[in-house]
Amino acid sequence: MATQDVTPLDVERIRADFPILEREIDGQQLVYLDNAATSQTPERVIDAISDYYREYNANVHRGIHQLSQEASIAYEEAHDRVAEFVGADGREEIVFTGNTTEAMNTVGYAWGLNELGPGDEVVLTEMEHHASLVTWQQIAKLTGAECKYIPITDEGYLDMEAAAELITDDTEMVSVVHVSNTLGTVNPVSELADIAHDHDSLIFVDGAQSVPHQPVDVEAMDCDFFAFSGHKMCGPTGIGALYGKEHILEEMEPYSYGGDMILKVTFEDSQWNELPWKFEAGTPNIADGIAFAEACDYLDDIGLERIHRHGQQLAEYAYDRLTEWDDVEVYGPPGDDRAGLVAFNLETTHAHDLSSILNDYAVAIRAGDHCTQPLHDVLGTAASARASFYLYNTREEVDALVEAIDEARQLFA
């Protein structure tokens, strides 16, 4: 991807869009570096939510009164907007879910329970988030299928030779994280899609950490399913999306039943609604769905290439500064080949203690296993600290992080 020539972000202007960045913690300016967990929300996305509740709050699809029609149009068009954002054909291919995890479970239950059986294999990676790992592990248990894991190299890349051996004609699903939320590795998902399709397997890509930070085109990638969350891309919590190729979603049975997802119901049987509504049972998350589309507009107005480059530069800078110290271990690929996050450990200090000390300096990072416990087993540690960057972060904030870490190093030396 050509990211070298993009115009740098005007970060000061961008910061003004996010009211929360004005916050102080105990009199100190907040330094928010926990964006891989949840990003902050710009004013216009907050407005989209409050406009809905102030002006046209009503249930969708059902009413023919004015408010319901306005809400229905906005909610349905939000699907088109989100589809466009990731290069899908249209609303038929975008199911709104609560988050990435629910998108995973939708495919696990709706596709996996029906399609998998003894002798079938699901191939995942050692760097999967629990959202996909636990889902496929449990669906495999229910169906008698088996999960296999593509190992990672010492540098935190996928071992593609092993991948080529693990994906066979027994493979029914390859489920791979696009960007690792712990290692910052960007995985070669198109290549994996080719390997999967050569063996007549489907491929599910977890895009929770890619969609917020880089241009994504699901058609060019040729994945069969793709999942992401609104709250990591300047949108609200409680909304996410499942992309699925139309012909696959068409053939899939829904697993959640009730109102809105049906076309006709008798005492004996029911017929399903058209896509994507057959997978959205009950009253959906209307306000957040509409605001999700607003977040797409916001990110597109700034430009995903520019956001991508900015995150990479901050991560590289953080990587370079942290690796100056011998008592710090940074996980994952080299600084110039990673997404906008850095997970690390100090020799002397547990990640939780470090995070707590950093909080005293108003620096918000994450400590723990980042929902990748098996990956942490491979890395030989139970937990790590993680700083993750977004479009409103600055080099000065990386400096604040590094200075606060240095204080912790000296405290525990």
Which residues of this protein are in contact with ligand PMP, per CB under 6 A?
Answer: 36-37, 99-101, 129, 131, 177, 181, 206, 208-209, 229, 240, 371
Instruction: Specify the 3-state DSSP secondary structure of 215.
Output: coil
Q: Are strands 171-177 and 202-206 parallel, antiparallel or unpaired?
A: parallel
Instruction: Specify the 3-state DSSP secondary structure of 228.
Output: strand
Q: Are strands 121-125 and 202-206 parallel, antiparallel or unpaired?
A: unpaired
CA distance 334 to 149: 23
Q: Which of 309, 356, 316, 321 is nearest to 337 (CA)?
A: 316
**Does residue 223 contact residue 203 with C-beta atoms inside 8 Å?**
yes
- Could you give the C-alpha distances from 68 to 10, 77, 261, 276, 406, in angstroms and in order? 39, 14, 17, 19, 56
CA distance 60 to 261: 12
Using the minimum distance from each CB to ligand PMP, give the nearer residue, 72 or 210.
210
CA distance 158 to 84: 29
Q: Could you tell me the smallest distance in angstroms from the CB atom of residue 102 to ligand PMP?
A: 7
Q: Which of 387, 390, 364 is nearest to 310 (CA)?
A: 390
**Does residue 322 contact residue 330 with C-beta atoms inside 8 Å?**
yes
Q: Could you tell me the smallest distance in angstroms from the CB atom of residue 312 to ligand PMP?
A: 17
The CB density around residue 360, as the number of other CB atoms within 10 Å, is: 13
Using the minimum distance from each CB to ligand PMP, give the nearer residue, 209 or 345.
209
CA distance 234 to 303: 13
Q: Could you tell me the smallest distance in angstroms from the CB atom of residue 393 to ligand PMP?
A: 17
Q: Could you tell me the smallest distance in angstroms from the CB atom of residue 131 to ligand PMP?
A: 4
**Does residue 359 contact residue 401 with C-beta atoms inside 8 Å?**
no
371 is catalytic: yes
Using the minimum distance from each CB to ligand PMP, give the nearer residue, 173 or 400.
173
Q: Could you tell me the smallest distance in angstroms from the CB atom of residue 342 to ligand PMP?
A: 14
Tokens of 329: 């271990």
Using the minimum distance from each CB to ligand PMP, give the nearer residue, 120 or 280.
280
Using the minimum distance from each CB to ligand PMP, give the nearer residue, 41 or 99.
99
Radius of gyration for the chain, computed over Cα atoms and rounded to the nearest angstrom: 22
The CB density around residue 44, as the number of other CB atoms within 10 Å, is: 16
Q: Could you tell me the smallest distance in angstroms from the CB atom of residue 371 to ligand PMP?
A: 5
Using the minimum distance from each CB to ligand PMP, give the nearer residue, 126 or 206.
206
Q: Which of 330, 102, 62, 323 is nearest to 231 (CA)?
A: 102
Any idea how long the chain is? Answer: 413
Using the minimum distance from each CB to ligand PMP, give the nearer residue, 129 or 310.
129
CA distance 108 to 114: 9
CA distance 183 to 181: 6
CA distance 298 to 283: 26
Using the minimum distance from each CB to ligand PMP, give the nearer residue, 296 or 404.
296
Q: Which residues are catalytic?
A: 371
